[in-house]
Chain A
Amino acid sequence: MGMTMTEKIFARHAGVDHVVPGQLIRCKVDLVLGNDITAPPAIKEFDRIGKPVFDKDKIALVPDHFTPNKDIKSAEMAKSMREFAKKHNIKNYFEVGRMGIEHVLLPEVGLVAPGELIIGADSHTCTYGALGAFATGVGSTDMGAAMATGDTWFKVPSSIKVVLTGKMPRWVSGKDVILTLIGMIGVDGARYQALEFVGEGVAELTMTDRLTISNMAIEAGAKNGIFPVDAVTLEYISSRVNRDYISVSADGDAIYDRVINIELDKLTPVVALPHLPENVRPVGEVAETVINQVVIGSCTNGRIEDLAQAAEIIAGRQIHPDVRTIVIPGSQAVYMEAMAKGYIESFIKAGAVVSTPTCGPCLGGYMGILAAGERAVATTNRNFRGRMGHVDSEVYLAGPAVAAASAIMGRIAAPWEVSL
């Protein structure tokens, strides 16, 4: 019996020939990730075990959520992670000034390769499936234990095959693909399951599109969201990954729990209404919604192509006088490239602010908190009640093009309303 991509990666890391859905297995991990919120409790749990770290080169620590430190308590948490990194000589600790939003940063610096198995104490760790890796979010205790043992337990998930066909229309991006899928299957539509994206349409997707799609697999409840390794993947990692890796592909007779077809040609820019990512509507249906804030960035949409799409709409125009627009490049490299390409100047001239990389407003941390009754369009990943601030504020999720157009219009707007 054949195996899916996810099953193959699990089998290899469990040291067995074959696994089946439902099986409980223990797997070696290639990388363990934590951030300034989740690592401090993980370090406490790690210390209780009383063992050294399993491999100082296979732990990544990224202060990105409440950093640059937003208050004293956050500073203390960042400090505890920094001290742990120093004490254990952790190679991949990224200090403020070199850090980026973890899921933008790690692929960018070559810490993710096809076929690898990565766990991170952050739910959006599933982003790395875009490179043909198995990656999933865990909690702090799992992270703390894995830092000592170098392995963790899994229940092998069944897989859903998502078949992509056709070509992407103008102004449709990876965000619209994943929001459309979540709208189809719901926020628990892939609960405990793997999403495997296949089909001729995959070749149409840039690595940025794929990273955005895999990033939000968790918003459908999925354990991971994985893409095949193709020319786009190999091109992306060619200048980044210089260690050996073993990429996998699904067998022709692999078993899938179900198959979902998405025709890319038929997609349109969409928006997810409060307070669940499954409340997906075509942008035209909500175009009269007046907004107070726009956030462009996050681990979902903070990459250079995302900023390019926003800049294409914003350059030479003015942000609506009633809208605060916050642009957050996902890493220092993204920031530098956006400067070199003139995007940053375009944003600032238009009346937007540009922040250093941080998760900040996405989780209601800082750098753009909403007051009661306020409404934001954000390229982030969650629109739960109170997610970006006051419990009576609202977040509308969209891709960079809709977010940029909305910033100009002062209401939710389609890109073609602004840019022809």
Chain B
Amino acid sequence: MILEGKVWRYGDNVDTDVIIPARYLNSADPKDLATHCMEDIDPTFAGNVNSGDIIVAGRNFGCGSSREHAPVAIKASGVPCVIADSFARIFFRNAINIGLPLIELGTAVAEIDNGNIVKIDLDRGIVENVTKGKEYKVQPLPEFIQKIASAGGLINYVKGDC
């Protein structure tokens, strides 16, 4: 799968409370959650994000609360993939489980700026910064996790399994 989109760039330690504040957790409807996505770190995001745009962030993206509402809100905003230096582990699990691909790019994220266009080849594990003409090779996910991802998430995987 090839993804191409405009970058929304954030820093280190973006926590799940700012991705989707708890005051909106009285709903688990993805559309409701998307209208408040990133609200406490970037109130301009929800109103301006376009389907296909890509979030790029620094270290430990998705730290804090285990709320799956966070990757759900991002996915429902039309963002097909998040690239970060590193991810917090519960967020990583949750994103894979709901079918939101993540790319751990390491410190190379420093070369990607807000508004850049990036192109991602998920199958070949290549990230290209189209704006800057730079290309990065990504470590493939473990095979077992790829299976969950290609099943479209954990539930489909489990359904086929038990």
Say whether A121 faces chain B, with CB atoms less than 8 Å apart: yes
B40 contacts A141, CB within 8 Å? no
Query: In the complex, which residues of chain B have a beta carbon less than 8 angstroms from the beta carbon of A382?
Result: 15, 17, 64-65
Say whether B4 faces chain A, with CB atoms less than 8 Å apart: no
* C-alpha spacing A149/B161, complex, angstroms: 10
Say whether A187 faces chain B, with CB atoms less than 8 Å apart: yes
B40 contacts A49, CB within 8 Å? no
A138 contacts B66, CB within 8 Å? yes
Chain A min CB distance to B20 (Å): 11
Contact pattern, A 7-38, Cβ under 8 Å of B = 1, otherwise 0: 00000000000000000100000000000011
Closest to B17 in A: A384
A191 contacts B89, CB within 8 Å? yes
B155 contacts A145, CB within 8 Å? yes
Residue in B26, B93, B94, B144 whose CB lies within 8 Å of A24? B144
B90 contacts A188, CB within 8 Å? no
Query: In the complex, which residues of chain B have a beta carbon less than 8 angstroms from the beta carbon of A140?
Result: 28, 68, 94
Count how many chain A residues have C-beta atoms less than 8 Å from C-beta atoms of the other chain: 51
Contact pattern, B 60-82, Cβ under 8 Å of A = 1, otherwise 0: 10011111110010000000000
Task: List the one stretch of A66-74, A312-320, A324-332, A333-341 in contact with chain B.
Answer: A66-74
Having A24-B145, A145-B97, A364-B17, one finds 12 other A-B pairs with CB under 8 Å, namely: A41-B68, A49-B155, A49-B159, A51-B162, A123-B90, A139-B97, A141-B98, A191-B88, A221-B60, A221-B89, A223-B89, A385-B18
Can you give 29 contacting A-B residue pairs, CB < 8 Å? A24-B142, A24-B145, A38-B66, A41-B68, A45-B154, A45-B155, A48-B155, A49-B155, A121-B66, A122-B66, A123-B90, A137-B90, A139-B67, A140-B28, A141-B154, A142-B93, A142-B154, A148-B162, A149-B162, A153-B144, A187-B13, A188-B59, A221-B60, A221-B63, A363-B17, A365-B22, A386-B40, A387-B17, A391-B39
Chain A min CB distance to B68 (Å): 4
Query: In the complex, which residues of chain B have a beta carbon less than 8 angstroms from the beta carbon of A364?
Result: 17, 21-23
Query: In the complex, which residues of chain A have a beta carbon less than 8 angstroms from the beta carbon of B22?
Result: 37, 363-365, 387
A145 contacts B158, CB within 8 Å? yes
Which residues 87-114 of B sit at the A interface, judged by CB distance below 8 A?
88-90, 93-94, 97-98
Closest to A153 in B: B144
Count how many chain B residues have C-beta atoms less than 8 Å from C-beta atoms of the other chain: 42
Say whether B153 faces chain A, with CB atoms less than 8 Å apart: yes
Chain A min CB distance to B43 (Å): 8
Contact pattern, A 247-264, Cβ under 8 Å of B = 1, otherwise 0: 000000000000000000
Say whether B126 faces chain A, with CB atoms less than 8 Å apart: no
Query: In the complex, which residues of chain B have a beta carbon less than 8 angstroms from the beta carbon of A191?
Result: 60, 86, 88-89
* C-alpha spacing A145/B86, complex, angstroms: 26
* C-alpha spacing A384/B64, complex, angstroms: 9
Chain A min CB distance to B42 (Å): 11
Query: In the complex, which residues of chain B have a beta carbon less than 8 angstroms from the beta carbon of A49?
Result: 155, 158-159, 162
B40 contacts A391, CB within 8 Å? yes
Chain B min CB distance to A145 (Å): 5
Residue in B17, B90, B161 whose CB lies within 8 Å of A138? B90
Measured CB to CB, the residues of B under 8 A from A are: 13, 15, 17-18, 21-23, 25-28, 39-41, 59-60, 63-69, 72, 86, 88-90, 93-94, 97-98, 142, 144-145, 153-155, 158-159, 161-162
A188 contacts B88, CB within 8 Å? yes
Chain B min CB distance to A370 (Å): 12
Chain A min CB distance to B113 (Å): 23
Closest CB pairs A-B (n = 10): A139-B94, A139-B68, A73-B26, A188-B60, A141-B97, A123-B66, A386-B40, A363-B22, A137-B66, A140-B68
* C-alpha spacing A121/B158, complex, angstroms: 18
Chain B min CB distance to A84 (Å): 14
Chain A min CB distance to B135 (Å): 27
Say whether A174 faces chain B, with CB atoms less than 8 Å apart: no
* C-alpha spacing A139/B71, complex, angstroms: 10
Chain A min CB distance to B109 (Å): 14
Say whether A192 faces chain B, with CB atoms less than 8 Å apart: yes
Which residues 366-412 of A sit at the B interface, judged by CB distance below 8 A?
382, 384-387, 391
Query: In the complex, which residues of chain A have a beta carbon less than 8 angstroms from the beta carbon of B23?
Result: 364-365
A73 contacts B27, CB within 8 Å? yes
Say whether A195 faces chain B, with CB atoms less than 8 Å apart: no
Closest to B96 in A: A141
Chain A min CB distance to B58 (Å): 10
* C-alpha spacing A125/B20, complex, angstroms: 20
B17 contacts A386, CB within 8 Å? yes
Query: In the complex, which residues of chain A have a beta carbon less than 8 angstroms from the beta carbon of B69?
Result: 41
* C-alpha spacing A140/B15, complex, angstroms: 17
* C-alpha spacing A73/B68, complex, angstroms: 18
A40 contacts B60, CB within 8 Å? no
Which residues 55-104 of A sit at the B interface, judged by CB distance below 8 A?
65-66, 70-71, 73-74, 77
Say whether A144 faces chain B, with CB atoms less than 8 Å apart: yes
Say whether A276 faces chain B, with CB atoms less than 8 Å apart: yes
B155 contacts A141, CB within 8 Å? yes
Query: In the complex, which residues of chain B have a beta carbon less than 8 angstroms from the beta carbon of A188?
Result: 13, 59-60, 63, 86, 88
